[in-house]
């Protein structure tokens, strides 16, 4: 069940709020608005969207987009005005970054906002509506700017938090990395990729508002451009974090490779030491009773101990040599 609220400022600068349940209520409320009106719809349904389409001559494609969840920010221009889809990333959970969607129809004398559930940015603008410098006193484009500005301000801390997670992972990778750290690194990298896919179109969209002079004045666009600069800085941070993530992955792979090399080196040293011992025991174990000195068996009982001592001395000598060469 949708909830529709109309807001405007009267001649004395006081905020007027009128709930509307159907098209007739919307028409009556708009008749009382002296300059322009802001229509905010929570959980819009088909009937409400259809009533708004007929009242403001919205294009059917934009109405269709507002009825379905969008995965990318967009800006469409129609004869009746502009249609804006704005996505705000939320606190990442696991590999995914959820978003909240705000659909906006904006013209010279109206602003229509559509969203599911409460929207903190819209609530903040409404609380400031009675101030002399409120966005409502300036016009629909300025309200749109204020809402988007607040949404962007809520996005920047998320980017910084993901960067802090990456810094913590980097410290672990330089120490004693584990498989769990590798999985965390993969998760953070996917979060960064998702954030980039959300924010990059929004930066381009704000730049595109410069062409919409019929609705967005030059003064208002200067403020939109400032918000675009904030998004550009956020994108720069995300791209930097992505490079850091790739470097951390290289550090992890290098550490694993070095560790494997150390293990293989130690095993090679052990195998090399046992090679001459194997040769000696092989020769000493042949079934010969003559032709060797000292002969095997009872002829020289001390020969077994001598061979064992020789093998021990050979092993220690080779180990000492390998240590001196820093091979072990």
**Domains of the chain, first to last:** 3-254 (3.30.460.20), 259-324 (no CATH)
Average pLDDT, stretch 134-162? 89
Tally of CB atoms within 10 A around 107: 19
**H or E segment to which residue 88 belongs:** strand 81-89
Query: What SS3 class is residue 185?
Result: helix
Residues 6+ apart with CB under 8 A from 7: 15, 16, 17, 18, 37, 38, 39, 40, 126, 129, 136
Query: What is the pLDDT at residue 138?
Result: 84
Residues 6+ apart with CB under 8 A from 114: 41, 44, 49, 66, 102, 103, 104, 105
Query: What is the pLDDT at residue 1?
Result: 67
Rounded Cα distance between 15 and 224, Å, is 25
Query: What is the pLDDT at residue 327?
Result: 67
Q: Comparing 199 with 263, which gets the higher pLDDT?
A: 199
Cβ(89)–Cβ(195) below 8 Å: yes
Q: β-strand 15-20 against 3-9: which pairing, if any?
A: antiparallel
Query: What is the pLDDT at residue 280?
Result: 73
Q: List the single range of 8-22, 80-94, 99-113, 193-207 with lowest mean pLDDT.
A: 8-22
pTM for the complete prediction? 0.75
pLDDT digits (tens, 9 = 90+) for 57-72: 899 999 999 988 888 8
Q: List the single range of 61-75, 214-228, 311-325 with lowest mean pLDDT.
A: 311-325
Is residue 288 scored above 50 in pLDDT? no
Average pLDDT, stretch 164-190? 81
Q: Residue 103: which pLDDT band, with cuts at 50, 70 and 90?
A: very high
Q: Comparing 284 with 322, which gets the higher pLDDT?
A: 322
* Helix count and strand count (H, E) for the chain: 8, 7
């Amino acid at each position: 069940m949708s909830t529709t609220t109309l807001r405007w400022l009267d001649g004395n600068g006081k905020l007027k709020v009128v709930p509307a349940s159907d098209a007739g209520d919307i028409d009556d409320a708009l008749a009382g608005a002296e300059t322009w009106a802001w229509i905010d719809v929570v959980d819009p349904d088909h009937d409400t969207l259809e009533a708004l389409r007929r009242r403001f001559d919205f294009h059917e494609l934009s109405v269709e987009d507002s009825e379905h969840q969008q995965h990318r920010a967009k800006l469409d221009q129609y004869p009746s005005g502009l249609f804006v889809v704005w996505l705000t990333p939320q606190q990442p959970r696991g590999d995914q970054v959820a978003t909240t969607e705000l659909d906006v129809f904006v013209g010279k004398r109206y602003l229509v906002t559509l969203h599911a559930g409460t929207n903190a940015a819209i609530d903040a603008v409404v609380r400031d509506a009675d101030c002399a410098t409120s966005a409502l006193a300036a016009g629909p484009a300025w309200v749109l700017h204020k809402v988007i500005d607040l949404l962007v301000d809520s996005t920047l801390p998320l980017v910084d938090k993901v960067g802090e997670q990456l810094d913590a992972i980097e410290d672990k990778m330089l120490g004693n990395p584990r498989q769990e750290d590798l999985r965390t690194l993969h998760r953070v990298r996917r979060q960064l990729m998702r954030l980039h896919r959300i924010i990059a179109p929004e930066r381009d969209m704000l730049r595109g508002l410069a062409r919409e002079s019929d609705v967005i004045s030059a003064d208002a666009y200067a403020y939109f451009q400032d918000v675009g600069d904030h998004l550009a800085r956020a994108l720069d941070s995300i791209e930097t974090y992505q490079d850091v993530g790739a470097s951390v992955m290289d550090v992890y792979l290098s550490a694993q490779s070095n560790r494997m090399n150390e293990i293989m080196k130690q095993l090679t040293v052990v195998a090399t030491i046992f090679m001459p011992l194997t040769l000696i025991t092989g020769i000493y174990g042949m079934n010969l009773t003559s032709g060797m000195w000292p002969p095997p068996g009872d002829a020289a009982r001390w020969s077994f101990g001598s061979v064992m001592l020789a093998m021990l001395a050979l092993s220690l000598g080779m180990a000492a040599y390998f240590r001196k060469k820093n091979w072990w």
